[in-house]
C-alpha cells in the first residue's frame, strides 16, 4: 500500500499495534495512544515508502486511528520505521486571550525524520480562535514561505460539563484565496469533518463558546526542503504581535 508514499500513524483513541514490512525489513511497535484527542498528545509511528502496513487495535474500548500519508517528493526518502514516544512530542501553549491554544508537534522536522510529510495537532479552547491571523503557504519564497498543501481533520467536544455526546457540537473554519488563485470556504465543521487547503489564506478555526475544537493538520509539498514556513495575510499581520 505504501509504494511512493510515506505514512504517519496517529491513534485518535485507544491503543494499537503497528506492524510493517519495509525496505529495512519487518518492524513492529505498540502505540499507547490515549483516551481521546482532547486527553493530550499521543505517540506515533512513521512508515517509510514501499512498505506494507497492518494496524491492530489492542485493549478495551473503542479504537480509532488516523493514517496520514504524503507522496514522496525527493530521492533518498527515509527507509526506516520510526516510533516517536508520547513524552518526546513537543507541546506548546500558543497565543493569548481569545487566540490561546495548544499545539502538539507529532511529526515535524526535528521530531520525526521524513521525506515531505508534516503532522501536528491543534486544540482550540471553547470561545477561542486558532490560525489567526490568517496565513498561507502555497508558493516558494526563500526564508519566508514554503509550498505546502494542508488537510485539517476536526473533532469537537463539549466543555464545562456539557453532555458527552458531541454530535451536536460544531466549529467554523475559513479559507480564502488571492485574486490570482481564488478560493472561498466558510465551513461549519463537526467531529469527523475534513477540509482541504490546496492554496490560499486560511484561518481562523473558530471554537464557539461551549465547545473545544481539535484539528489534525497534515501538510506536504514538492519543495526542496521539508520545512513549514507561512506568511501572514498582510492586512491582519499586525495581530501577530498583539496575541503572543
> How would residue 167 be classed by pLDDT, with cut points 50, 70 and 90?
low
More confident residue, 175 or 163: 175
Residue 242 DSSP symbol: H
Q: What is the reported pTM?
A: 0.94
Question: What residues does each domain of the chain span?
Answer: 5-242
pLDDT of residue 97: 87
CA distance 209 to 128: 8
CATH top class, domain 5-242 = mainly beta
Q: Span 30-45, mean pLDDT? A: 96
> How would residue 164 be classed by pLDDT, with cut points 50, 70 and 90?
low
> How would residue 113 be classed by pLDDT, with cut points 50, 70 and 90?
very high
The cell for 102 is 495548544
Q: Span 49-66, mean pLDDT? A: 92
Query: How many whole angstroms from its chain centre is CA 34?
Result: 16
> How would residue 162 be classed by pLDDT, with cut points 50, 70 and 90?
low
Q: Give the lowest-confidence range in 38-47, 97-106, 108-117, 159-168.
A: 159-168
Query: How many whole angstroms from its chain centre is CA 56?
Result: 22
CA atoms within 13 A on the CB side of 174: 14
Give the pLDDT confidence of 7-20 residue by residue, as tens digits: 999 999 999 999 99
Q: Estimate the share of the chain in helix, then strand, then coil, as percent rounded to the nearest 5.
A: 5, 50, 45
The cell for 72 is 514522496
Query: How many whole angstroms from its chain centre is CA 82?
Result: 18
Give the pLDDT confidence of 130-147 residue by residue, as tens digits: 999 999 999 999 999 999
Q: Alpha helices of the chain — where are they, by DSSP H? A: 239-242
CA distance 29 to 104: 21
CA distance 211 to 116: 33
Amino acid at each position: 500500500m505504501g509504494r511512493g508514499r510515506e505514512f504517519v500513524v496517529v491513534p485518535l483513541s485507544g491503543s494499537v499495534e503497528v506492524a510493517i514490512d519495509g525496505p529495512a525489513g519487518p518492524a513492529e511497535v505498540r502505540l499507547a495512544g490515549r483516551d481521546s484527542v482532547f486527553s493530550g498528545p499521543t505517540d506515533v509511528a512513521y512508515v517509510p515508502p514501499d512498505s506494507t502496513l497492518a494496524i491492530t487495535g489492542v485493549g478495551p474500548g473503542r479504537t480509532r486511528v488516523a493514517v496520514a500519508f504524503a507522496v514522496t517528493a525527493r530521492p533518498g526518502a527515509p527507509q526506516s520505521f520510526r516510533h516517536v514516544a508520547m513524552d518526546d512530542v513537543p507541546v506548546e501553549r500558543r497565543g493569548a486571550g481569545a487566540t490561546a491554544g495548544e499545539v502538539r508537534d507529532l511529526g515535524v522536522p526535528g521530531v520525526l525524520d521524513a521525506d515531505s510529510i508534516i503532522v501536528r495537532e491543534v486544540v482550540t479552547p471553547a470561545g477561542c480562535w486558532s490560525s489567526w491571523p490568517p496565513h498561507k503557504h502555497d508558493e516558494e519564497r526563500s526564508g519566508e514561505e514554503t509550498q505546502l498543501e494542508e488537510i485539517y481533520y476536526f473533532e469537537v467536544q463539549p466543555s464545562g460539563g456539557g453532555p458527552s455526546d458531541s454530535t451536536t457540537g460544531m466549529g467554523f473554519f475559513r479559507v480564502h484565496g488571492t485574486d490570482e488563485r481564488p478560493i472561498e470556504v466558510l465551513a461549519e465543521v463537526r467531529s469527523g469533518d475534513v477540509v482541504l487547503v490546496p492554496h490560499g489564506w486560511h484561518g481562523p478555526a473558530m471554537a464557539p463558546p461551549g465547545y473545544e475544537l481539535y484539528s489534525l493538520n497534515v501538510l506536504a509539498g514538492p519543495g526542496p526542503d521539508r520545512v513549514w514556513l507561512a506568511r501572514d495575510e498582510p492586512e491582519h499581520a499586525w495581530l501577530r504581535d498583539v496575541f503572543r
